[in-house]
Amino acid sequence: MDLSPFPYLQGNYAPVCEERDLDASALRVEGKVPEQLVGAYMRDGANVAYQPNHYVYPLDGDGMVHALYLNKGDVHYRNRWVQTSHLKTERQFGHMIYGSVGKLLPVPQEVIDAGGEASPVRNTANTNVLYHGGKLLAMWEGGFPHLLNNDLSTVGLFDYDGALQAGDALTAHPKICPTSGDLVSCTQRWDSPDYRVQVFDKTGKHKQTIPVSFPRKGIIHDLQITDNYIVIFYAPAFHNLEKAMRGEDPFEWQPQLGTKIIAIPRDGVGEQIVFETEAFFSWHFCNGYEEGGKLIIDYIWINSIPFTQAQGTGVEKQPRRMQRMTLDLKTKQVTNERFSDVFCEFSRCDERRMGKHYRYGFAASSNRDWDDAHGYNCTGRYDFKTGETTLWEFGQGANAGEPSYVPNPDSDREEDGWVTNFVYNPGEGAFLSILSAGDFSSGPVCKIHIPGRVPNGFHGNWCEGLTLA
Ligand SMILES: [Fe+2]
């Protein structure tokens, strides 16, 4: 492959071409893996399998899941592509067939005649990997999720036993309610501007649909729950499929429209409340909760849509910060305050407190001059009680991925859990970092060094109790 035209396929953004299995004899453990951890940390990401025609970060690239299975101190690393119908068809022909989301290609008749995937839009399955209701799912917001086995082999598309209809696109950012175990998710469609909250119970059975109407299909990536509401941002960021099919830039940013914030009652009955504010974009929430008739929403603010069709645009160029938004349910007043000046993205929390009062947010963060740097060299802890931001720096040239919180099964305290992510540090290599959530200043309690590379990716989760055996 010639990846030189693509800025977001350079360095540790470049794909790896091997699927590997590495047991404890091949992995070097620095420090000690906490004995309480039995499960797997899994992370999805983009990993192009064939020479691309174009590359829009962070929307393109075949999904690959990287997993570290931990079992009372034992460790095992494995990575696998998600075997989507698009990737399988390309494997059959031995070359790239489906283009970039920024430059779609018509599907050749010979591919269709041979029984290959007919849709020109690739289901990348590259955005998130989540374990809920005993099901391991690789997710992409433009279509159905893919069901995986615990060993990362692909079962196939998963429609929640018929709950998803053809054309439904399930978000890659559902939230699990810690009270009920429900998965609060949503579907959007390419052929409709409307949005539907979809709730699945703790066994994965479909439970509820709540429709939300919009005049135009927006790019809505994440959602936040509180005890009684689902909150979404409707930014003036749109994708125009007709333009995409003509090869024109399909992404539109119309700041004069402002950004709307919608609070949707979780009972599906109450009135949906619309808040209006000046235009901003956001990929990710951190957490949110209710207090005194207000919704407190923590999220990563971005000044505008962070990408266009042009090569080399992408999230890293746009200013972005941790912000705290307060929504007054009675007066509809919005306050939107910067919490920290640190450049950050990929915000998470202790998800036992999802939708509830909490103290710490965690995010991929940077303490270096941005310039043309790509990625984040620190993991940050954002203390909403003291207002303090604490960074652990892995090295000036390092890239630290999204931090996932791993609860300590023996303690309910946020401080007693761990924060884990894949890191690549030139000179040191790739490793899984495990930081103590309560003590960032001492650095990782454990690093599991992985020979070769684990490319920068997107979202991951701790899968409690999931093992290879
Ligand atoms: Fe995301």
Written as six digits, the tokens of 242 are 């007709």
pLDDT computed for residue 246 by the predictor: 79
Task: Please check whether residue 461 is in contact with residue 131, taking contact to mean a CB–CB distance below 8 angstroms.
Answer: yes
For residue 362, the CA-to-ligand 1 centroid distance in Å is 14
Report the distance separating Cα 143 and Cα 86, nearest Å: 13
For residue 111, the CA-to-ligand 1 centroid distance in Å is 32
For residue 108, the CA-to-ligand 1 centroid distance in Å is 32
Written as six digits, the tokens of 316 are 């890293």
Residue 466: CB atoms within 10 A of its CB come to 17
For residue 176, the CA-to-ligand 1 centroid distance in Å is 15
pLDDT computed for residue 247 by the predictor: 74
Omega cis (within 30) before 58: yes
Residue 1 maps to a domain = no
For residue 222, the CA-to-ligand 1 centroid distance in Å is 7
For residue 283, the CA-to-ligand 1 centroid distance in Å is 6
Residue 2 maps to a domain = no
For residue 460, the CA-to-ligand 1 centroid distance in Å is 10
CATH number for the domain spanning 247: value is 2.130.10
For residue 249, the CA-to-ligand 1 centroid distance in Å is 22
Number of folded domains in the chain?
1
Tell me the average pLDDT of the chain: 94
For residue 285, the CA-to-ligand 1 centroid distance in Å is 9
For residue 420, the CA-to-ligand 1 centroid distance in Å is 17
Report the distance separating Cα 167 and Cα 144, nearest Å: 8
Residue 190 maps to a domain = yes
Report the distance separating Cα 353 and Cα 420, nearest Å: 18
> Could you tell me the pTM of the whole model?
0.96
Written as six digits, the tokens of 222 are 């994440």
For residue 143, the CA-to-ligand 1 centroid distance in Å is 15
Residue 250: CB atoms within 10 A of its CB come to 21
For residue 125, the CA-to-ligand 1 centroid distance in Å is 12
List the domain range (segments joined by +) for residue 279. 7-464
For residue 128, the CA-to-ligand 1 centroid distance in Å is 7
For residue 103, the CA-to-ligand 1 centroid distance in Å is 21
pLDDT computed for residue 373 by the predictor: 54
For residue 127, the CA-to-ligand 1 centroid distance in Å is 7
pLDDT computed for residue 164 by the predictor: 97
Task: Please check whether residue 99 is in contact with residue 120, taking contact to mean a CB–CB distance below 8 angstroms.
Answer: yes
Residue 162 maps to a domain = yes
Residue 376 maps to a domain = yes
For residue 429, the CA-to-ligand 1 centroid distance in Å is 25
For residue 58, the CA-to-ligand 1 centroid distance in Å is 9
For residue 391, the CA-to-ligand 1 centroid distance in Å is 21
Residues of the chain with pLDDT under 50: none
Nearest to 396 by CA among 433, 365, 425, 422: 425
Residue 128 maps to a domain = yes
Q: How far, in Å, are 241, 365, 366, 377, 402 from residue 370 at the CA level?
A: 33, 11, 8, 11, 18
Report the distance separating Cα 326 and Cα 24, nearest Å: 47
Residue 32 maps to a domain = yes
For residue 141, the CA-to-ligand 1 centroid distance in Å is 9
For residue 130, the CA-to-ligand 1 centroid distance in Å is 13
For residue 71, the CA-to-ligand 1 centroid distance in Å is 28
For residue 14, the CA-to-ligand 1 centroid distance in Å is 19
SS (HEC) of the chain: CCCCCCHHHCHHHCCCCCCCEECCCCCEEEECCCCCCEEEEEEEEECCCCCCCCCCCCCCCCEEEEEEEEECCEEEEEEEECCCHHHHHHHHHCCCCCCECCECCCCCHHHHHCCCCCCCCCCCCCCEEEEECCEEEEECCCCCCEEECCCCCEEEECCCCCCCCCCEEECCCCEECCCCCCEEEEEEECCEEEEEEEEECCCCCEEEEEEECCCCCECCCCCEECCCEEEEEECCEEECHHHHHCCCCCEEECHHHCEEEEEEECCCCCCCEEEEECCCECCCEEEEEEECCEEEEEEEEECCCCCCCCCCCCHHHCCEEEEEEEEECCCCCEEEEECCCCEEEEEEECHHHCCCCCCEEEEEEECCCCCCCCCCCEEEEEECCCCCEEEEECCCCCEECCCEEECCCCCCCHHHCEEEEEEEECCCEEEEEEEECCEHHHCCCEEEEECCCCCCCCCEEEEECCCCC
pLDDT computed for residue 101 by the predictor: 84
For residue 173, the CA-to-ligand 1 centroid distance in Å is 7
Report the distance separating Cα 91 and Cα 264, nearest Å: 43
pLDDT computed for residue 73 by the predictor: 85
For residue 384, the CA-to-ligand 1 centroid distance in Å is 22
